[in-house]
């Protein structure tokens, strides 16, 4: 179900079970984790400098595959706490810039995959939200955090209580994700951006990724964050890409970063 393709510095991970809207059972989660581990190995060897996550078929990911779940026997904590959350944490800390191209349904665990990705581009007509009211369940995989952080408490509970889904365009307008674009150009545009980022100073990008994560998770104030920026810049000063960037500027040419 999970495919990994590496080419020209980009690892492209594909959720490829379109017949079930790329919904994920425990086996699929294990495959997805293995794909991220393999891609991370590529970062260490220099083969991978950016990552793209996408889904095949009509939707990105409809969430957990519940087709064979018997509620009385369901190990919810084993699935969410033991499988999903560790995977999302691994995705979030991937050692290079990550992007997701989201179209169609992005729900439940699928929404979690997007939350755990650095930059998310969505189709204008993507469907995002919490359909769990119809299941007697609640939003999971970080959805409460994202919605409350970006939409506020009233809009968050409105979406949860009503099970209404918002479009990709509305999600971007509300600050949930980065950019919205037509569905028929989403993948091509995203691939072009990821390819460009993969040729950049990805060591510096990784430093910014870590700085942003610390602001988010530790709720840093301005001066603490600035001190961390200072240290990150000092560390980058010793890298080849830093030297190359300054030299290229001084020589009025395009830099050739190694990542």
Phi, psi of 153 (to 5 degrees): -70, -40
User: Which of 54-82 are b and which e, b meaning 16 or more Cβ less than 10 Å from the residue's Cβ?
Assistant: bbbbebbbbbbbeeeeeeeeeeeeebeee
Locate tokens 């009025």: which residue? 252
More reliable by pLDDT, 112 or 136: 112
- Percent pLDDT > 90 in the chain is 90
pLDDT tens digit string along 180-205?
A: 999 999 999 999 999 999 999 999 99
Q: Quote the pLDDT of residue 58.
A: 96
Angle at 168 between CA 140 and CA 213, to 5 degrees: 55
CB atoms within 10 A of CB 245: 18
**Separation of alpha carbons 210 and 59, rounded Å:** 30
Please give the average per-residue pLDDT across 35-64, as a whole number.
97
pLDDT tens digit string along 52-109?
A: 999 999 999 999 988 888 888 888 899 999 999 999 999 999 999 999 999 999 999 9
Report pTM.
0.95
**Is the separation of the CB atoms in 12 and 5 below 8 Å?**
yes
Band (244; pLDDT cuts 50, 70, 90): very high
Locate tokens 């830093």: which residue? 242
Band (8; pLDDT cuts 50, 70, 90): very high
**Separation of alpha carbons 10 and 25, rounded Å:** 26
195 contact partners, CB below 8 Å, separation of at least 6: 8, 9, 10, 50
pLDDT tens digit string along 222-240?
A: 999 999 999 999 999 999 9
**Separation of alpha carbons 8 and 33, rounded Å:** 22
Band (134; pLDDT cuts 50, 70, 90): confident
pLDDT tens digit string along 138-158?
A: 899 999 999 999 999 999 999
Across all residues in the chain, what is the average pLDDT? 95
CB atoms within 10 A of CB 182: 10
Q: Quote the pLDDT of residue 72.
A: 80
**Is the separation of the CB atoms in 36 and 55 below 8 Å?**
no
- Percent pLDDT > 70 in the chain is 100
Phi, psi of 8 (to 5 degrees): 55, 40
**Polymer length in residues for the chain:** 259
Cα 5 to its chain centre, rounded Å, is: 17
Q: Quote the pLDDT of residue 139.
A: 92
Q: Quote the pLDDT of residue 195.
A: 98
């Amino acid at each position: 179900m999970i495919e990994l393709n590496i080419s020209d510095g980009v690892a492209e991970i594909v959720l490829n079970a379109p017949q079930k809207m790329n919904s994920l059972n425990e086996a699929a989660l294990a495959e997805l984790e293995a794909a991220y581990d393999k891609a991370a190995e590529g970062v260490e060897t220099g083969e991978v400098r950016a990552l793209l996550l996408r889904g095949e078929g009509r939707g990105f990911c409809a969430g957990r595959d519940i087709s064979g779940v018997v509620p009385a026997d369901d190990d919810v904590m084993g699935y969410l706490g033991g499988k999903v959350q560790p995977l999302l944490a691994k995705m979030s800390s991937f050692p290079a810039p990550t992007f997701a191209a989201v179209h169609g349904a992005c729900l439940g665990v699928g929404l979690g995959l997007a939350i755990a990705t650095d930059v998310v581009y969505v189709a204008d007509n993507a469907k995002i939200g919490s359909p769990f009211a119809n299941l007697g369940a609640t939003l999971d995989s970080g959805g409460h955090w994202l919605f409350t952080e970006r939409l506020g408490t009233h809009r968050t509970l409105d979406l949860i209580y009503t099970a209404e889904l918002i479009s990709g365009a509305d999600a971007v307008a509300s600050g949930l994700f980065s950019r919205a674009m037509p569905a028929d150009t989403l993948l091509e545009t995203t691939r072009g951006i990821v390819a460009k980022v993969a040729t950049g100073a990805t060591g510096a990008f990784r430093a910014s990724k870590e700085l942003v994560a610390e602001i988010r998770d530790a709720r840093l104030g301005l001066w603490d964050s600035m001190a961390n920026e200072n240290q990150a810049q000092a560390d980058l000063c010793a890298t080849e890409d830093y030297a190359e960037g300054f030299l290229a500027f001084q020589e009025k040419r395009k830099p050739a970063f190694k990542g």
